[in-house]
Structure 1
Amino acid sequence: MATGFPKNAHRVDPYKNYKFRVVSAVDGKTVLGVSKVSALKRTTQVVTYRSGGDNSTDTKSPGRTTYDAVTMERGITHDLEFEKWANMVHPYAGDTAMDLVNYKKELILEVMNEKGHVALRYFLHKCWVSEFTAVPVLDASANAIAVESIKIEIEGWERDPDTKEPDEASPVPAAS
């Protein structure tokens, strides 16, 4: 019986959603501390029309495709990369300080198996920060981590067809 895992036929369960990382496509550095990434979703509008001789049924064709924004969260640390990126779009100094050259980035979302092998890789294109939450609601009676978040607008994403199913019998990959 087919399991969906040609190389690892012993595997019967799908990949978990808690092993992933976000990498900058420019310098290959992992974005530190990301603990949550929202879903990658695209929606194609439906264009409905009718033919002159057949008015009783609709014909449908694809229209404009949009890509939903992606939200990333991480615990607050002294790493300022989220804030620096958000400030490229709208710094406190105003419009004249906006960085029109570097505010869009290429990112890579890597989903890993339990052992740490990259199982799936997605390229996120022309990403920029539309929302930045520097400090969450603070509550002295809560038992929680302080989390910062960014909402990233993307102009498209695609799965990397060159990322093949990892051999789960191979050694644990070195930390990058």
Structure 2
Amino acid sequence: MGDRVDPYRNFRFRVEIDGIGQAGFSECTFADTSTEPIEYREGNEPPVFRKLSGLTKYGNITLKWGITDSMDLYNWRKQIIDTGAEGARKNMAIILIDEAGNDKARWDIVQAWPIKYDPTDFNAKNNEVGIETLEIAHEGFTRAS
């Protein structure tokens, strides 16, 4: 019998964004990819549709982190507001880390840009960490390892 290989846990990861030195994130919601089927039938064929592949869509990525003095991600979003996405797109990577601290899986994301920024809410009755949220659109990803 072979050695047992357990799946990796999802609580250790890091996000790399070109030119942004954000230390860490508490949550990264990685969206799916889907290809729309196109139903097609010619008049001389049996009354059954063929399914052709259509456009491929990539869902958005959401990053959450505890608020600090860093303005890097906010400034990236502000750049989009001020001048648009052209010239502000960045490549990213999401890396899964095992319990020993080794990189185990990597997804490379291309042409990413922030479409939504949500600052933290404030409440004087609790003592939770303030969380900022950034939603990012992109033009695709590949699993590199």
The alignment's TM-score, normalised by the length of structure 1, stands at: 0.74
Q: Which residue of 2 aligns with 1:62?
A: 53
Read off the aligned partner of 1:118 and give its amino acid letter.
Answer: D
- Residues 62, 136 of structure 2: 8 Å contact kept: yes
Of residues 57, 63, 69 in structure 2, which corresponds to 1:72? 63
Q: Which residue of 1 aligns with 2:136?
A: 152
Q: Which residue of 2 aligns with 1:17?
A: 10
Q: Kindly state the Cα deviation for residue 146 of structure 1 after the two structures are TM-superposed.
A: 0.5
Stretches (4+) displaced over 4 A: none
RMSD across aligned positions (CA): 2.0
Q: What is the percentage of aligned positions where both structures have the same residue?
A: 24
Q: Kindly state the Cα deviation for residue 133 of structure 1 after the two structures are TM-superposed.
A: 1.2
Which ranges in structure 1 are unaligned for 5 or more consecutive residues? 3-8, 92-97, 164-176
Read off the aligned partner of 1:17 and give its amino acid letter.
Answer: N
Of residues 34, 39, 49 in structure 1, which corresponds to 2:30? 39
* CA–CA separation in structure 2 for the residues paired with 1:154 and 1:99: 14
CA, structure 1 residues 54+89, in 2 after alignment: closer, same or farther (shift >3 Å)? same
**3-state SS, counterpart of residue 51 of structure 1:** coil
Q: Kindly state the Cα deviation for residue 50 of structure 1 after the two structures are TM-superposed.
A: 1.6
Which ranges in structure 2 are unaligned for 5 or more consecutive residues? none
Q: Kindly state the Cα deviation for residue 49 of structure 1 after the two structures are TM-superposed.
A: 1.0
- Residues 21, 31 of structure 1: 8 Å contact kept: no
**3-state SS, counterpart of residue 49 of structure 2:** strand
CA, structure 1 residues 114+30, in 2 after alignment: closer, same or farther (shift >3 Å)? farther
Q: Which residue of 2 aligns with 1:133?
A: 118
Q: Kindly state the Cα deviation for residue 51 of structure 1 after the two structures are TM-superposed.
A: 3.2
Q: Which residue of 1 aligns with 2:93?
A: 108
Q: How many pairs align? A: 145
* CA–CA separation in structure 2 for the residues paired with 1:101 and 1:152: 14
